[in-house]
Every structure is written in structure tokens, then in C-alpha cells.
Amino acid sequence: MSMAIFTAPVPQNEAIKMYAPGSPEKQLLKQELERQKRESVDVPLFIGGEEIRTNRVEEIRCPHDHSLKLGRYHKAGPEEIAMAIKSSLCAREAWSEVSFEDRAAIFLKAADLLATKYRYIVNAATMLGQSKSPFQAEIDSACELIDFFRFNVYYMQEIYKEQPMVSPTGNWNRLEYRPLEGLIFAVSPFNFTSIGGNLPTAPAMLGNVALWKPASTSMLSSYYIMKLLQEAGLPGGVINMIPGKGSEIGNTVLNHPALAGIHFTGSTSVFQTMWKTVGENLSKNIYKNYPRIVGETGGKDFIFAHKDCDIRALAVAMVRGAFEYQGQKCSAASRAYVPKSIWPSVREEMVKMVETITVGDICDFKTFMGAVIDKNSFDNIVSYIEYARRASDAKVVIGGKYDDSKGYFIHPTVVETSNPKFKLMEEEIFGPVLTVYYYDDAELEKSLKLVDETSPYALTGAIFARDREVIAHLSKALRNCAGNFYINDKPTGAVVGQQPFGGARGSGTNDKAGSHLNLLRWVSPRSIKENFVPVHQIDYPHMLES
């Protein structure tokens, strides 16, 4: 039992290492990359603190070099899924009673381990397994996940400090923030190692237990995150990692009476199916409580330019926003609206920039773009490029090359169209393809409405303008189009503690990862009133004789 009220350290964003020529971090990362390329990792399930191997395995291969086998991972079947659920529920009672400071210490230690011992391990795993460049891996698997651990501890403390404002004489009113009754199902995508680390740990910090199903294309980095959490002192069973077939794991967990919440990042269609299943189960009275559903899904993120904008800055934002990490970010710029009067100048600037972009093996630190994640993704993106080539109302003006003979490489591609409802303006592609609609300068208001109407999503968006009145007008017109909105900046790169991340409409529940708003979803408050002066009569003063 605590004998003091402890205060968590005030967090600061982790400093980004730049891996410049001759820097010690560059040498250390290169050494770790070579080690992992030589080593073949056998990734188990993690259940109850034990490593479980099922011998139902899939290979882990490098997206930018299919010939490079990085290891294999074991898949959960019905027996292991049931075992993981039982393990979580067995761990729940003890974990829910662990004090704030002891829970906080585990994740603060995890942050420090990731900032030091595990930094190059997890970064290298993300580079090799998910084809991220050194900088993209650094800002994701190191800095953002470190920030999630440190800031979430601080947010947890601030939530616990929020207490009733009034306790009349003779009373003490209190709020207790209980973990949810049951288990959390955490389902993470391939594109951000930090999301994989955050989805199960954010609820766990608040005293919950979680079943974590990582994406099959991010198994190498997910393995090292579990090793990191174990070394930080996380008790067995608090987070169980169960790779495997999504539908098989999901059907079992979503239909279990102990489901208390879903923490999800991935496709809109999968999330909607999960929500439908929960709704149907509620009608059957399967659950003990209403499960909390938190999800961040798709996006068709936009850049909208005004004719008075900084053309060079706009071009940089379009190139970086669309092509960093091969456009495989939920926040990546996928459609742009540029006035006809400036589009030729913007396009010229972009052509010059794209000509300098190298596409290839991310182990060459000069490479800007690696490969897309797998064959299915490659084929899907190529189908959009070829559709644009065949279209009468659009054309490929930059890039459009692709080759999967060694790795799943797609070069940065820009499509221009005179049709604001062109297929590539409407549908999520999740690759390095940016479609630009060049609008008539006189049709600003009409074009703003198009941004709002064209896509069912509302994740990220950016505007470019100089005049303050114009900025204010564009911001107001596009208020509901994006949960993360950028002014004269690319629509990617949200930082924990600076820009809490999430969108609404078809993009999710907008519960803002990287803020206290997300953590509030993983607690069930209890109001406590203690009366120090008990009442011994039923009469009220107005009942007494005058």
C-alpha cells in the first residue's frame, strides 16, 4: 500500500535521432540490421508469460527483398485462443489491484528500455519487416512508442487526479477509476509499430488485460515489443499476443461474454463488421457490459490549396505527405485540390523533387522509399495506376512505374484529373499515388464543397494559403472534413502530446490516441460518497411544527 501520493515525471517528446553520416546511431543501426538479416527469428505466441509454439507457421519475409527470410511466426488456433482468453481473465483480478505507481513504473521502464537497449533492435525490425526508411522507423517504432508510454502514464495520473469539486461538511466525495470488467481485444495494423505497441498497452496501463492480435506483416517488430514489455516487468497474462487468422481469432473473442472493449486500427470494412457483431451480440444479451469500441480506420486525406499559397511549400507537402513510407499511412495525402492558375508551377516543382527520390532497399540509407507491404497491396495499387492510364478524364503525369521482381516496388505516382469525382479521388488506395483535381480559380466555394462531399472519411487534411482571412474561411468550410487539420503543412506526422490523432465519419470514433481522451475509454468510474455524520431521523425541517 502506498504511503505517499506519487507524481509521474512530466513527459517530453523523445528526441529524434537523424542517422547522419558518421553518427554513432547510424553505425549501431547498420550493425543491428546486419545481425537481424543473418538471424532467423522463431516468433511464438505469448500467453500467460509463456512462449507457445503451435507449429502452424508462416514465413516472415522482407517486402523489399522477397528472397530474404527473416524468420517465421506461429499462428494461434482454437485451443490457443481459448487459452489466451482464460489467461487474461485469470490475470485480471491481480492486475486490477496493482497500484498506480507500480503500473506506471513498468511502462516508464519500457520507455527507457526502448530509448536505449531496444531502440536499434525495434527500428531494424521495422525497417526489415515493414520496409521503413531509417527516419520513418525512428519517428515510429522508437520516438512515438516511447512517447505513448511516457505521456500515457502522465495522462493516467491526471485522470486519477480529477475528483468531485464539492464535498459538503460531513461528507467526502470521491471518484474511483476502475478498469473495465473483462478483457480488451487489441487489433493492430502493419504500418505503425507504435500503434501495435499502444493498442494493448493503453488499456493495460489503466488496469485492464488485453488480447493483442498484431498484423501478420508486422510480426518481427511485434515480437520485440513483447520481449521489451517482459523485460520491463509486465506480469504474464496482462497482454497476451496471439497472431493468426483475423476472422478465426475475432469470431472467438468477439463472441465471448468477457469482451469489455475493442481497441482497433485497420480497415473500415473490418471495423464495421466487428461493430455489427457486437451489436448483434448485445441483442442476444451475450455480454456482461456494453463493450467499449474504439477504432481508427481509413482515410482519403486531402490537401486544398488557395491561389495565393507558397507554391514551393505546397509541393514539398504534397511529395512528403503522399510518398513518405510509400503512402502507407492512414494520414497520407491521397487527393489534392489545386487552382488551375498555379497547378503547372506546382507540378513542375513536384517533378523536380520526385526525380531525386530513390526507391529500393531501405538498408541503403540514401533510399527515400522502400517497398509496399505485400503482393496483395502491390496488385491493388497497380490496378489503380492502370485504371488512371486507361481513363479519358485523367492521366499519369509523374511516375507510374512498378516492379515486383525483387521487392514490391511502386514509384511515386501523380495523377491529374479534371473530374472531381474520378475514382482515384474517391477511393482509399493506401499506396504512393496522389490524385490532383485542378479546379477553376473562380470556383473556390464549389471546390470546398467537393472536399466535404467526395469522401466518406474524415481523418486528416491540410490547407495552403497566405492570407489570414482565407485561412479562416477554409478552416471553417472544412471543419468537419478532418479530425487532424493542418495549416500550411503536410497532413501527416502527428506527434503524441502535440496533435492527438483520430478522425470521425468513416475514419473511426475519433477517440484521439496520444491524449487523455483515449485513456478515458478504458475506465469505468465509480462515485463514492462517505458520510461522516450519519443521519438518525427521517423527518425534514419543513415537517416540524412551527
- For the chain, give every domain's residue range: 29-297+508-525, 301-487
Catalytic residues: 296, 330
Confirm if 425 and 419 have CB atoms less than 8 A apart.
Answer: yes
Question: Cα separation of 168 and 475, whole Å?
Answer: 45
| End-to-end CA separation in angstroms for the chain | 53
Q: 135: how many CB neighbours lie within 10 A of its CB?
A: 16
Superfamily for the 29-297+508-525 domain:
Aldehyde Dehydrogenase; Chain A, domain 1 (3.40.605.10)
Enumerate the β-bridge partners of residue 294: 263
CA diameter of the chain: 98
Based on the number of CB atoms within 10 Å of its own CB, is 290 exposed (0-12), middle (13-18) or buried (19 or more)?
A: exposed
71's grid cell: 524468420
Q: H or E stretch including 268?
A: helix 268-283
Which CATH architecture does the domain made up of 301-487 adopt?
3-Layer(aba) Sandwich (3.40)
pLDDT digit string (tens) for the chain, length 546 residues: 678 999 999 999 999 999 999 999 999 999 999 999 999 999 999 999 999 999 999 999 999 999 999 999 999 999 999 999 999 999 999 999 999 999 999 999 999 999 999 999 999 999 999 999 999 999 999 999 999 999 999 999 999 999 999 999 999 999 999 999 999 999 999 999 999 999 999 999 999 999 999 999 999 999 999 999 999 999 999 999 999 999 999 999 999 999 999 999 999 999 999 999 999 999 999 999 999 999 999 999 999 999 999 999 999 999 999 999 999 999 999 999 999 999 999 999 999 999 999 999 999 999 999 999 999 999 999 999 999 999 999 999 999 999 999 999 999 999 999 999 999 999 999 999 999 999 999 999 999 999 999 999 999 999 999 999 999 999 999 999 999 999 999 999 999 999 999 999 999 999 999 999 999 999 999 999 999 999 999 999 888 876
Encode pLDDT of 479-517 as tens digits.
999 999 999 999 999 999 999 999 999 999 999 999 999
Based on the number of CB atoms within 10 Å of its own CB, is 168 exposed (0-12), middle (13-18) or buried (19 or more)?
A: exposed
Confirm if 415 and 394 have CB atoms less than 8 A apart.
Answer: yes
Alpha helices in 44-131 (DSSP H): 78-96, 100-115, 119-130
Question: Cα separation of 218 and 192, whole Å?
Answer: 9
Q: Is the torsion defined by CA of 281, 282, 285, 288 positive or negative?
A: positive
Share of the chain above pLDDT 70, in %: 100
